[in-house]
Structure 1
Amino acid sequence: MNELLPQKQINSFKDKASEISHPHEMIIDLLRAIQLHHGWVPDDGVLLTAEVLGVLPIEVEEVATFYDKIFRREVGKRVIHICDSICCWTTGAEMIAEHLKKTLGIGLGETTADGLFTLLPTCCLGACGEAPAMMIGFTTHGLLTTEKIDDILQRERAAVAAEV
């Protein structure tokens, strides 16, 4: 049994890869599936992806390290992406980042001691009209204030507690 991905899902990816002329197109899909199942993509995930799709491991690694939403190291249960685009910075992203660092007790690129939150910068979330913004999981939060952040963190903590 593979801990990175259920065998049924691996077989499904193999079947799809055999039906297309460029299995490279599926690298990101398989990496995302591994990450959703495992929480991040370890070296074995890169090797599994290469094996399943019949591509070189370096080709998988190139894709995995290009995208900032693919995690090549262990991260917290909730990853907070702080937008540091020009729109967000001109509307207070630096204050938002400092508040998050202080509240969580971590710096950028770090994970809280309880393994709950990882704090990462990202170049753009596409939420310029709601700057400053951050993303947790697949949810974008905009027009951030320190109070709004505190509320969001409280809800995320409660959601994780409910998952247990």
Structure 2
Amino acid sequence: MNENCCCCGNADEDERMENVSKIIEKFRDVKGGLIPVLHDVQQLYGYLPEEALRVISDELDIPMTEIYGVASFYHFFSLEPKGKHIIRVCLGTACYVKGGQTILNRLSQELEVEVGKTTLDGKFTLEATRCLGACGLSPVMTIDDKVYARVTLDDVRRILDEYTKMEG
């Protein structure tokens, strides 16, 4: 084993925080640069961790309240870690009428997770969305980039099993 190797995980964290500083530098003089900074930091971590937000606040001299305001206003930012797979269930009018809410409830029950949260094992994040643009195929859900059309309650377990089997 390499004696110079840090196995505690802090080396990765230090490297990511250095990258946060580089991201901030890249957008420091850009008007409205906070959003691109938050976007790139979320790309780096998969969400917006508080430690990174504090660095952004300090280095850009922006109050944390303003940063949280921006991060919580835009739906594409997340203040919590996301699961390996993101499940989105459409609750737009067509999907809702055809049972989208029932599908969402079943997924929540099967995964034992609240909507908007991530399973304890970190495999799935369950989200409700307003429209996935496939109204003629309702009810619709996606897992990552895969679209599932005309989903029934009987389909839910089978679909989840596809991802459980992939994990081994």
Shift of 1:106: 3.6
Shift of 1:19: 5.1
Q: Which residue of 1 aligns with 2:151?
A: 144
Deviations 1:83-104 (A, max 9, x none): 2221210122022123213322
**CA distance 1:15–1:155, change in 2 (3 Å):** same
Q: Which residue of 1 aligns with 2:126?
A: 119
**CA distance 1:136–1:70, change in 2 (3 Å):** farther
C-alpha distance in 2 between matches for 1:79 and 1:46: 23
Q: Which residue of 1 aligns with 2:51?
A: 44
State which of 12, 19, 26 in structure 1 corresponds to 2:36.
26
**Where does the alignment leave 5 or more consecutive residues of structure 2 unmatched?**
1-10
Q: What one-letter code is carried by the residue in structure 2 that aligns with 1:103?
A: E
**Where does the alignment leave 5 or more consecutive residues of structure 1 unmatched?**
none
Shift of 1:59: 2.5
SS at 1:50's partner residue? helix
Report sequence identity in percent. 25
Q: Which residue of 2 aligns with 1:81?
A: 88
Q: Is 1:131 matched up with 2:126? A: no
Shift of 1:105: 3.2
Give the TM-score of the pair, scaled to structure 1: 0.71
Computing the radius of gyration over CA atoms, which structure comes out larger, 1 or 2? 2
Deviations 1:17-70 (A, max 9, x none): 14533313414413422442xxx3232232233345553322321121123343
Give the TM-score of the pair, scaled to structure 2: 0.69
Q: Which residue of 2 aligns with 1:153?
A: 160
C-alpha distance in 1 between matches for 2:115 and 2:24: 37
Q: What one-letter code is carried by the residue in structure 2 that aligns with 1:100?
A: L
